[in-house]
């Protein structure tokens, strides 16, 4: 008995001396800085690459963090996520913009956390004072406008950086100290870029166009004041003997005939001539003055295109590359996109306002259907904006709570909810007129993620209709009368 006791005690002591790996498999991770741009100047972009690996242990979504230390505190930091399978190593790259105030000899740190394993790597970086990376604005021009025309303008944005930088630009139209229109966009600038923009339809008055460019915490601004002239009935100044008079009359006649024929043709194809809801029309229906200086009265759509389904693998990969979705999240995004078809309708139209002003408008409408019995929340949708559509979104609307983000040619829509057995519609407009071929070439968007609720319980109640009850009562009464009549006839026969 004593021998058994000592044997059990020895086994317990041996087990207590073994490492924890007996009970649970631990990760063994590696991290190495592969390359880094040094020395570097403040205002430039620090590019670096590293190797992250999971030598042993279960797969993990490794958390990568990188930062500089200034006087013992983290300064200018970033983070990323890399999926690592067992025994897998990956080469990744990232970047940081060297903001002013970090000049000197600094320690750069890179940390990887894979489940319970943590690895730290570091490099000493020399950051020197550089030329301030101020964005530059110049050549802001606003052609002379007349009452009822759409505002057009142009300017040049430049950077002193030798590479490509993303400059945040905001355009604002001001009248009587009130901002009546604004537009924001990110512009990729390599050296300099000439921008041609369009604003709202303007009426007679004095205006101020303000353009601001921001990069690396520095802002440049340029302002141009201009006036819009009222139209002074130019036809009254032309005499019938003037050649210009007859040229204009002939042009109006040809245009009127073309519109008459087009109206007759479009009248036969009712789906081509439509009233398209806009901010101005919505305000008009509500009995209020519309935002802007002209009401939209009618819309003639000469280009229409419809498509439905999901992107093929090649186009989906191009879209995911544009969105910079990394490998760990890419599989999940592709799976959502493949199982969630979308419908897209494109219309390119000519808009005529109450004063006879004409503008162009292309509308892209995206429809997403939830045919299941679960609510969807946090729906993420990405779409590519083709170059021929331009960059200036004039209006975005949806029948659900929506957040919109635009980065270069990528549009991202984050919808709050699509209920079970319901659909959501997202539309965006641009001040352009495009061809049928261009409308057909706009790629479908992709749904890359959402959360599903628990299945909804639908209680079914069987209700007997009142007329069915009455019918049964009537039939029963008829049967009783027939039996009574038959019995009476049999009695008479006896």
218 and 82 housed in the same domain: no
Instruction: Give the chain's residues under pLDDT 50.
Output: 18-24, 233-254, 256-296, 459-464
Q: Is residue 188 part of a domain?
A: yes
Would you say 117 and 27 are in contact if contact means Cβ atoms under 8 Å apart? yes
330 and 415 housed in the same domain: yes
Give the helix ranges, DSSP H, for 323-451: 327-339, 436-441
At 120, which CATH number?
A: 2.60.40.640
246, two tokens: 């007859």
Of 128, 161, 176, the position where a domain reaches its end is 128
At 149, which CATH number?
A: 2.60.40.10
Q: At what angle do helices 327-339 and 313-322 cross, to 10 degrees?
A: 130
43 and 191 housed in the same domain: no
Alpha carbons 435 and 325: distance in angstroms, whole number: 32
pLDDT digits (tens, 9 = 90+) for 208-252: 999 998 887 778 888 988 888 876 544 334 444 444 444 444 444
pLDDT digits (tens, 9 = 90+) for 326-348: 776 888 888 899 889 999 999 99
Q: Is residue 364 part of a domain?
A: yes
437 and 311 housed in the same domain: yes
103 and 165 housed in the same domain: no
Q: Is residue 241 part of a domain?
A: no
Q: What is the 3-state secondary structure (H, E, C) of 74-97?
A: EEEEEEEEEEECCCEEEEEEEEEE
Cα dihedral: 248, 251, 252, 254 (round 10)? 160
323 and 388 housed in the same domain: yes
Q: According to the model, what pLDDT value does residue 327 have?
A: 73
At 409, which CATH number?
A: 2.60.40.1170
Q: Is residue 116 part of a domain?
A: yes
Q: According to the model, what pLDDT value does residue 15 have?
A: 52
Cβ neighbours of 256 (radius 10 Å)? 10
Q: According to the model, what pLDDT value does residue 218 have?
A: 78
Q: Is residue 10 part of a domain?
A: no
105 and 145 housed in the same domain: no
Alpha carbons 98 and 275: distance in angstroms, whole number: 52
Give the helix ranges, DSSP H, for 41-83: none
Alpha carbons 337 and 312: distance in angstroms, whole number: 10
Of 96, 128, 160, the position where a domain reaches its end is 128
Q: Is residue 477 part of a domain?
A: no
Q: Is residue 362 part of a domain?
A: yes
46 and 118 housed in the same domain: yes
Q: According to the model, what pLDDT value does residue 273 have?
A: 31
Give me the domain span that covers residue 327: 277-452
The count of structural domains within the chain is 3
Of 234, 262, 230, 231, the C-alpha closest to 247 is 234
Q: Is residue 270 part of a domain?
A: no
141 and 50 housed in the same domain: no
Alpha carbons 117 and 30: distance in angstroms, whole number: 9
Alpha carbons 35 and 399: distance in angstroms, whole number: 48
67 and 209 housed in the same domain: no
284 and 387 housed in the same domain: yes
Beta bridge partners of residue 138, listed in sequence order: 156
CA distances from residue 433 to 49, 203, 272, 366, 389 in whole angstroms, order as listed: 44, 22, 15, 19, 8
381 and 357 housed in the same domain: yes
Alpha carbons 432 and 428: distance in angstroms, whole number: 12
Of 195, 229, 263, the position where a domain reaches its end is 229
For the whole model, what pTM was predicted?
0.39
The DSSP letter of residue 294 is S
């Amino acid at each position: 008995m004593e021998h058994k006791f000592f044997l059990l005690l020895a086994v317990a002591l041996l087990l207590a001396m073994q490492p924890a790996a007996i009970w649970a498999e631990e990760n063994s991770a590696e991290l190495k800085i592969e390359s880094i741009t040094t020395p570097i100047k403040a205002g430039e972009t620090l590019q670096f690459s590293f190797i992250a690996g999971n030598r042993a242990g279960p797969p993990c979504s490794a958390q990568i963090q990188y930062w500089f230390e200034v006087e013992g505190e983290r300064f200018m930091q970033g983070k990323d996520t890399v999926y690592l399978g067992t025994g897998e190593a990956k080469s990744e790259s990232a970047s940081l913009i060297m903001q002013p105030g970090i000049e000197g000899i600094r320690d750069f740190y890179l940390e990887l956390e894979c489940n319970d394993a943590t690895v730290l790597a570091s490099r000493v970086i020399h950051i020197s004072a550089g030329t301030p990376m101020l964005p530059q604005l110049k050549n802001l021009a606003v052609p002379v406008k007349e009452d009822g025309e759409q505002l057009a303008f142009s300017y040049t944005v430049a950077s002193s950086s030798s590479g490509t930088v993303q400059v945040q630009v905001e355009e604002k139209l001001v009248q009587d100290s009130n901002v009546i229109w604004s537009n924001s966009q990110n512009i990729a600038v390599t050296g300099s870029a000439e921008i041609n923009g369009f604003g709202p339809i303007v009426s007679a008055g004095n205006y101020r166009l303000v353009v601001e460019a921001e990069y690396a915490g520095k802002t440049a601004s340029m302002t141009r004041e201009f006036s819009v002239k009222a139209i002074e009935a130019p036809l009254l100044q032309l005499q019938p003997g003037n050649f210009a008079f007859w040229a204009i009359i002939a042009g109006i006649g040809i245009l009127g005939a073309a519109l008459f024929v087009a109206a007759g043709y479009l009248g036969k194809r009712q789906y081509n001539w439509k009233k398209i809801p806009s901010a101005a029309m919505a305000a008009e229906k509500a009995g209020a003055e519309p935002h802007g200086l002209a009401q939209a009265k009618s819309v003639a759509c000469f280009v229409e295109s419809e498509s439905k389904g999901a992107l093929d693998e090649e186009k989906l990969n191009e879209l995911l590359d544009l969105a910079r979705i990394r490998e760990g999240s890419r599989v999940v995004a592709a799976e959502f996109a493949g199982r969630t078809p979308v419908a897209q309708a494109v219309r390119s139209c000519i808009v005529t306002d109450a004063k006879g002003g004409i503008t162009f408008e292309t509308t892209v409408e995206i429809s997403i259907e939830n045919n299941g019995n679960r609510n969807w929340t946090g729906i993420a949708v990405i779409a590519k904006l083709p170059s021929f559509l331009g960059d200036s979104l004039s209006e975005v609307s949806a029948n659900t709570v929506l957040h919109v983000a635009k980065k270069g040619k990528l549009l991202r829509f984050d919808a709050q909810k699509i209920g079970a057995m319901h659909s959501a519609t997202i539309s965006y407009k641009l001040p352009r007129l495009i061809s049928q071929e261009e409308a057909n070439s706009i790629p479908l968007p992709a749904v890359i993620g959402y959360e599903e609720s628990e299945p909804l319980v639908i209680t079914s109640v069987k209700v007997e209709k009142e007329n069915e009850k009455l019918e049964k009562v009537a039939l029963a009464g008829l049967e009783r009368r027939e039996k009574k009549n038959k019995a009476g006839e049999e009695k008479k026969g006896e």
